[in-house]
Structures are given as structure tokens and as C-alpha cells.
Amino acid sequence: MVDFTRSPRELELEERTQRFIREVVIPYESDPRLAHGISDEIVREMRAKARAAGLLALQAPREWGGAGLDHRETATLLRAAGYSLLGPLAMNCAAPDEGNIHLLDRVASPAQKERFLRPLAAGEIRSSFFMTEPDGGAGSDPDMMRTTAERDGDHWVINGRKWFITGVDGAGFGIIMARTGEHATLFLTPLPAPGITIERVMHTADEMTPGGHGVVRIENLRLHESSILGAVHEGFRYAQVRLAPARLTHCMRWWGAAKRAHDIATAYAVSRQAFGKALIDHEGVGFMLARNEVDLRQTQLMIDYVAWTLDQGSKASTDSSMAKYSVSETLFQIVDRCVQVLGGRGIVDETQVSRIWREIRAFRVYDGPSEVHLYSLARRLKRNAARS
């Protein structure tokens, strides 16, 4: 029977996370050290406090220090964590590390887990996922991958260029996707590594990602075959293993950020006067906030539904496509309305809203732009229609 009751454990987790965000993380938002973007120093400080509060990487399996949450509980956790843009970093449930933890847990060898997963889940190091390529290489269409790995005895030699490599500067290791003939294979490499050069860090509106987004040149990177993550030639499949839940955790975190923007806009609309009454009493404003309420509910329901699907053991590739598309588009509209409600205040960094607005835009693009998800939804619809 359809049921929306939350367990006491989930409610307790939510309440504790909300308090931690409010009391510990939000004060960091006005830390003057953030003027030039987030640094590993601040991340370390916040993580120490999260660890003390028992809130570090709870989404990870118990074996790696987590709480053994299912996807629905993870949704509750990450929505609460996302209420501050710093929250997921503080609690070690931010991208790309959170997705990499999930992937390593699923496919890494015991030795790889000890070496890479353990310190990653413990929040001691950061990681990177090398997939997207410049110069007409792999983007939304992975078949266009140009980076290659060639076997040389019991080693592999990798060459290529990657970009949008989130967090690469300062990362402790990376997962590299490279073409191996018709297929693709994932490789683990410690970082920094000879053969891997960060050409530059891309300039972006997103200043809340330690290590930024790098452009990387890989020249004759030589890795032993024990560096292969999972099986050879299974790279595209593993990318899917990582992708479906990763799409959903993005939805969860950004939901929290949109809720934050909405709360700020609502508080402003209640207190600010114009043309003889409170802003919120102007329907032009009140209706925008009412739409936000509806949209926050809708997106929460969609997230919970797909999380449940994953918990049933489904790969949920269609459902997570649907969620990624609709949640990203809808949350963006919520935050955009908040900017509008705040007026001038919404476009300057007097509140978190302008920052959330700038950063959430990327969510409609990464892990497949909305159009790619609509494309695959339409193709699946055609297949199903043909079958029926």
C-alpha cells in the first residue's frame, strides 16, 4: 500500500542534520576565507565537526563508516545536508566523492577498497572521475570517447585529454575512463601521477567545489592491470552503475538548496513592504512562493519514488532519467522565482540565493542535459509502444 510515513530513525536523522547545518555549517557561509572560493582547509575543519556529530558520510555502507542507509533514507539525509551549499562537503556526501564511494563499494577489489575507498569515505582524501572530454570527444554521447588505454604486457598505457574534471586539483586519486577497443574500461590512479597534467582549472560560477573543474592532459600514463576497476571492457556499464544513483543524489542535495532559497525569499516577502502592504500580500509575489511550495512537494515526491525504485533493486535508469530531468528543471525555476522575489537583493551576494541560483544552473546540464534525458525517454516510450 502506498505509504508516506517516515520511520523514527529517519526523522531523528533529519532533525539532527538540520540542527548541524543550522548551527555549525551555515555560520561558515560568512567565513571571510570563502571570498576566493572553498579551500581544503575549511573542508577539513567542517568535517572534523561532522565527524564529532556522527554525521560524516552516513550514506556510505556501514563497513566504511556509514550508517547503512537505503536510498530513501539517503534522500532524507541529503536533502537536509543540501540546505547549505557547504553542507554536503562538511558531511562528505558531496559530488563527485559520494558517487565514487558508491561505485568503489560496488566494483572495487578488496585491495582497491582498502587503498582508495577507506580514506575517501573517512573524508581524508578527495577523488575525481575522468570522463568528459574536450575537442569533440565524449560528452553526453559516450561513444565519442577519444582517450585510449592500450595494453602493454601486464600494464596499460593511457593517452587523452579530459575536462570538467571536478575536484581534480588536490584529489588523492582518480577514476579514468578510457577506450579499450570497442569498449571502455575504468582505471584507478593515485594522484598526482606522472603522465597526468592539470592544464588549467576552468573559470566557472561554481566556487563551492574544492579543486574546481580541471582540464587534464594524460600522456603515457602507465598503470598496472591491478589498477583496473572491476573487469576490463565494462567501463560503460559501470558508469551506469554510478550514474543512476548519482543523478538522484544530485536531486536530493539541490532540493535542499532550493528549499533554502525558498525559505529566505519567504522570510523576505513576509517582512518587506511595498506599495502599502507586505510583499507576500501582493499576489504577484505570493503566487510565486505558492508555486514554489507545490514544486518542492512535487520534486520531493519524485525523489522519494525513484529512491524507492532503487531500493527495490531496480537499475532505475528510466526513472532516474525522469527524475534528473524534471527535478533539475523544476528546482531551477524555484530558485529563479526566489531571485525575483528578492529583487535587487536576489542578484547580489547579500543572501545565499544569488549563489544558489548561479550554481544550480549547472545541474540542468551535467550528468546529461535535460534534452538527453528527454531523448532517451522518448526512445524508450517508442520501444514500449512497439511491444504493446
Q: Please, which of residues 308-337 interact with its own copies by CB under 8 A? A: 308-309, 322, 325-326
Q: How far is the CB of 301 from its own copies (least distance, A)?
A: 4
Among 89, 280, 334, 356, binds its own copies (CB under 8 A): 280
Helix (H, G, I), strand (E, B) or coil at 170: coil
In angstroms, the CA 150 to CA 366 distance is: 29
Interface mask (CB under 8 A) for its own copies, residues 288-307, using x and -? -xxx-xx--xx--xx-xx-x
Figure out which of the listed residues 154, 194, 283, 313 binds its own copies, where binding follows CB under 8 A: 283
User: What does the alpha-carbon distance between residue 227 and residue 136 come to, in Å, rounded to a whole number?
Assistant: 27
Rg (CA), the chain: 21
Q: How far is the CB of 260 from its own copies (least distance, A)?
A: 14
DSSP letters, 142-194, are GGG---EEEEETTEEEEEEEEEEEET-TT-SEEEEEEEETTEEEEEEEESS-T
- Choosing from 36, 110, 182, 385, the residue that interacts with its own copies (CB under 8 A) is 385
Rounded-to-integer distance, Cα 266 and Cα 115, Å: 47
Instruction: Report the DSSP beta bridge partners of residue 175.
Output: 129, 188
Site for its own copies in 115-144 (CB under 8 A): 132, 136, 139-141, 144
Which positions from 151 to 170 touch its own copies by CB under 8 A, shown as an x/- string? Answer: ------------xx------
Please give the grid coordinates belonging to residue 244.
543512476
Contacts (CB under 8 A) with its own copies, residues 17-56 = none
Distance CA 127, CA 166 (A): 9
Pick between residue 111 and residue 386 the one whose CB is nearest to its own copies: 386
Q: How far is the CB of 174 from its own copies (least distance, A)?
A: 18
14 and 69 in contact (C-beta within 8 Å)? no
CA atoms of 332 and 362, how far apart (whole Å): 10
Q: Is 205 in the site for its own copies (CB under 8 A)?
A: yes
Determine, following the binding rule CB under 8 A, whether residue 274 of this chain makes contact with its own copies.
Answer: yes
111 binds its own copies per the rule CB under 8 A? no
| The one among 115, 155, 281, 314 contacting its own copies by CB under 8 A | 281
Site for its own copies in 346-365 (CB under 8 A): 346-350, 354, 357-358, 361-362, 364-365
Select from 30, 110, 111, 203 the one that contacts its own copies (CB under 8 A). 203
Nearer to its own copies, 110 or 136 (CB): 136
Place of cell 542507509: 69
Which CB sits closer to its own copies, 193 or 365? 365
Q: Applying CB under 8 A, does 68 fall inside the site for its own copies?
A: no
* Number of Cβ within a 10 Å radius of residue 67: 17
If the CB atoms of residues 52 and 301 are measured against its own copies, the closer one turns out to be 301
- Give the N- to C-terminal CA distance of the chain in Å, as an integer: 27
Which of 154, 383 has the CB closer to its own copies? 383
* Distance between CA atoms of residues 323 and 329, nearest Å: 10
Nearer to its own copies, 32 or 110 (CB): 32
Under rule CB under 8 A, residue 278 binds its own copies: yes
| d(C-alpha 251, C-alpha 325), whole Å | 10
Helix or strand (DSSP H, E) at 9: helix 8-20
Q: Which stretch binds its own copies (CB under 8 A): 176-184, 189-197, 245-253, 266-274?
A: 266-274
Q: Which of residues 170-199 bind its own copies (CB under 8 A)?
A: none
Q: How far apart, in whole angstroms, are the C-alpha atoms of residue 252 and residue 246? A: 10
d(CA 189, CA 196): 10
| Choice from 285, 316, 338, 353 touching its own copies (CB under 8 A) | 285
Question: Is the bond preceding 192 in cis, omega lying within 30 degrees of 0?
Answer: yes
